């Protein structure tokens, strides 16, 4: 029985190429997955004051630490007790915000990401004296995240992070939702 040379050569080449591919797969490390990381390195309790600017309004809050449980006080546009739940929701969203590594784009493209007229700008002052700034742009193309800038540097390229769409709910509230609701005492009914 005589074998043709062409099929035998093709079989040897296929085995050799398969071996090369197998060895290549075994020695190549798997691609590095980009892990989401915390955007800020502080806790919610570290914040002493915050200001929030949206296209509709500007608000300022300061933490009053005199009472045993610290309470938030609105200082602008009104002097009034703040709704602690609304402030805590925003601070929790900021302190626990996670994102993959940022995308760097030229500053001339800021309008494409909604930073020419941002959804909101939040400035925070911490008890250690540090300040942070969070600028929220528009939603991404499929409305699953918002574009954000963290502590932007003037004149530098934009470092754009993707943050949770929950930030939209955290900053877009009516003035009444930022103030503590005070209930007037109801008069007791008297018997005739």
Task: Concatenate the DSSP letters of all residues of 80-130 into one string.
Answer: EEB-HHHHHHHHHHHHT-EEPSPEEE-GGGGGGGT-SS-SEEEEEEETTS-
Tokens of 152: 């932007």
The per-residue pLDDT for 185 is 53
pTM: 0.73
Phi-psi region of 149 (alpha: psi -120 to 50; beta: other; left: phi over 0): beta
List phi, psi (to 5°) of 143. Answer: 55, 45
Per-residue pLDDT of the chain (192 residues; tens, 9 = 90+): 566 788 778 888 888 888 888 877 777 665 545 567 888 889 988 999 999 999 989 999 999 877 667 789 999 888 989 998 999 999 999 999 988 888 899 999 989 999 999 999 999 999 999 999 999 999 998 889 999 999 988 888 999 999 999 999 999 999 889 998 765 555 565 555
User: Are the CB atoms for 134 and 118 separated by under 8 Å?
Assistant: no
Distance between CA atoms of 171 and 169, rounded to whole angstroms?
6
Distance between CA atoms of 187 and 72, rounded to whole angstroms?
29
pLDDT digits (tens, 9 = 90+) for 15-65: 888 888 887 777 766 554 556 788 888 998 899 999 999 998 999 999 987
């Amino acid at each position: 029985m005589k074998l043709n040379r062409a099929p035998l050569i093709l079989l040897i080449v296929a085995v050799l190429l398969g071996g090369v591919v197998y060895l290549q797969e075994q020695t190549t490390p798997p691609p590095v997955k980009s892990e989401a990381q915390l955007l800020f390195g502080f806790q919610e309790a570290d914040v002493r004051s915050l200001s929030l600017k949206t296209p509709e309004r500007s608000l300022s809050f300061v933490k009053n630490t005199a009472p045993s449980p610290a309470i938030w006080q609105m200082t602008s546009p009104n002097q009034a007790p703040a709704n602690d739940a609304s402030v805590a929701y925003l601070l929790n969203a900021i302190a626990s915000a996670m994102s993959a590594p940022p995308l760097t784009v030229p500053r001339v493209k800021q309008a494409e990401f909604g930073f020419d007229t941002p959804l909101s700008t939040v400035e925070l002052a911490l008890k250690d004296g540090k300040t942070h700034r969070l600028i929220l742009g528009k939603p991404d193309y499929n409305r699953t995240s918002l574009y954000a800038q963290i502590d932007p540097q003037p004149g530098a390229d934009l470092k754009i992070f993707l943050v949770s769409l929950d930030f939209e709910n955290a900053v877009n509230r009516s003035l009444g939702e930022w103030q503590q609701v005070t209930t007037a005492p109801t008069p007791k009914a008297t018997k005739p």
